[in-house]
Amino acid sequence: MNLKQTVYFMTLVGALAGLVCWLLVAFLSDVISLPTWGSVTIYAAIMGALISGLTVAFADKWTSEKVVPNWVAVGALLGLIAGVLTGGLYLLAGARLSAATSPKVVTITIWLLAGGLIGVATGLRWASVNALRAFHSFIGGLFGGGLGGLVFAQLGEQPFAQAFAYMLIGSGITLGVTLAPVLLSDGVLQFISSGDPRAQNKYGSPRQEWVVQDGDNLVIGSQSAGMTATVYAQDVHIYVPDAMVGPRHAVLFAKNKRFYIQLHPDNAGPLGQPLEPLQLGNDNIVGTREVRDGDEIIVGQTLLRFSTRRKQADYGAEIEGRPR
């Protein structure tokens, strides 16, 4: 799906997480009585686990071959830890904050912190691509959590109002986490067409898009998520289910606001020749080539197009690259 659709659906995922969180909170409130810091910890932990777990599950469903249960579990665990940290910060500073300001400001601050920490937990999924992505998710989570907290503080104690507020908090956090990389993107790689029906059916309508940011190191390949041995991150970041695309086919990376494509070492023969086709325009790629706005990349039987709003210099078509 394109980037606008990704932001839209991930916002719905956050709203779903918020609704489920409210249902669990309402149930727990009737069963146990907790001090304020305990309530903050449990509520933020539930929200964090739901948002991070569901974000991983839905993102993999759209961009990979399958949902990997252990990745979802790790995402939920990291989100839960983010919620516990929120409760810990409140325990340390909540009394002073409550004495210094109004309850509404306290509520907004709590959800702002929770949003930022949940954003980091979610963004860690892409830390292997670019460490700055976790920071961008933190900023997006801060914004979404603070906005949701503002609405939560204004709506009062009515049950349906609280349900709506929880949904806004969840959608605000996922909106911020998803939108931040899109707004800060330096380039976009778009699927155009493929001679392999699997790739065409998966990405053809609507056309799939991938964000490219400065500092990214994105592996393009056909290795499925089920073949990945990592605990949380993906080995292949741009998954192309094409029979003529190698498991790790190529690397698209950005450095100093310029963009490059090169063969992955796994797709290179003893003399450096490609084992599976890789072209930039009409040229076969052997070393490293700079990618410019409007360039078309052919991997196997699949055509991709790169676009960027960045102004690019006219020098240096090749640099030494280090694919992962």
The domains of the chain are located at 3-183, 187-307
Q: Are 277 and 235 in contact (CB under 8 A)?
A: no
In whole angstroms, give the CA distance from residue 20 to residue 56.
17
Please state, for a pLDDT cut of 90, what percent of the chain lies above it: 32
Residue 153 has pLDDT above 90, yes or no: no
Q: Which of 202, 207, 209, 203 is nearest to 181 (CA)?
A: 209
Has this prediction a pTM greater than 0.85?
no
Max avg pLDDT among 134-138, 175-179, 261-265, 281-285: 261-265
Can you tell me which residue has the tokens 């727990």?
Answer: 28
Q: What is the pLDDT of residue 314?
A: 54
Report which of residues 1 and 210 the model is more confident about. 210
Mean residue pLDDT of the chain comes to 85
Collect all residues with Cβ–Cβ distance below 8 Å to 292 and sequence separation of at least 6: 259, 306, 308, 312
> What is the 3 state secondary structure string of the chain?
CCHHHHHHHHHHHHHHHHHHHHHHHHHHHHHCCCCHHHHHHHHHHHHHHHHHHHHHHHHHHHHCCCCCHHHHHHHHHHHHHHHHHHHHHHHHHHHHHHHHCCHHHHHHHHHHHHHHHHHHHHHHHHCCCCCHHHHHHHHHHHHHHHHHHHHHHHHCCCHHHHHHHHHHHHHHHHHHHHHHHHHCCCEEEEEEEECCHHHHHHHCCCCCEEEECCCCEEEEECCCHHHCCCCCCCCCCEECCCCCCCCCCEEEEEECCEEEEEECHHHECCCCCECCCEEECCEECCCEEEECCCCEEEECCEEEEEECCCCCCCCCCCCCCCCC
Class of CATH domain 187-307:
mainly beta
User: What's the one-letter identity of residue 196?
Assistant: D
Residue 230 has pLDDT above 90, yes or no: no
Complete edge-to-edge strand list for the sheet that includes strand 288-291: 238-239, 217-221, 250-255, 258-263, 288-291
In whole angstroms, give the CA distance from residue 24 to residue 16.
12
Residue 133 has pLDDT above 90, yes or no: no
Asked which of 128-137, 150-159, 193-202, 314-323 is least confident by mean pLDDT, the reply is: 314-323
Residue 111 has pLDDT above 90, yes or no: no
Measure Cα distances from 81 to 14, 72, 127 in Å: 18, 14, 17
Q: What is the pLDDT of residue 318?
A: 46
Average pLDDT of the residues in 37-41: 85
Per-residue pLDDT band at 247 (split at 50, 70, 90) = very high
Average pLDDT of the residues in 106-128: 87
Residue 8 tokens read as: 């839209």
Q: Are 263 and 289 in contact (CB under 8 A)?
A: no
Q: Are 209 and 3 in contact (CB under 8 A)?
A: yes
Asked which of 10-19, 170-179, 197-206, 283-292 is least confident by mean pLDDT, the reply is: 170-179
Q: Is the peptide bond before 206 cis (omega within 30 degrees of 0)?
A: yes
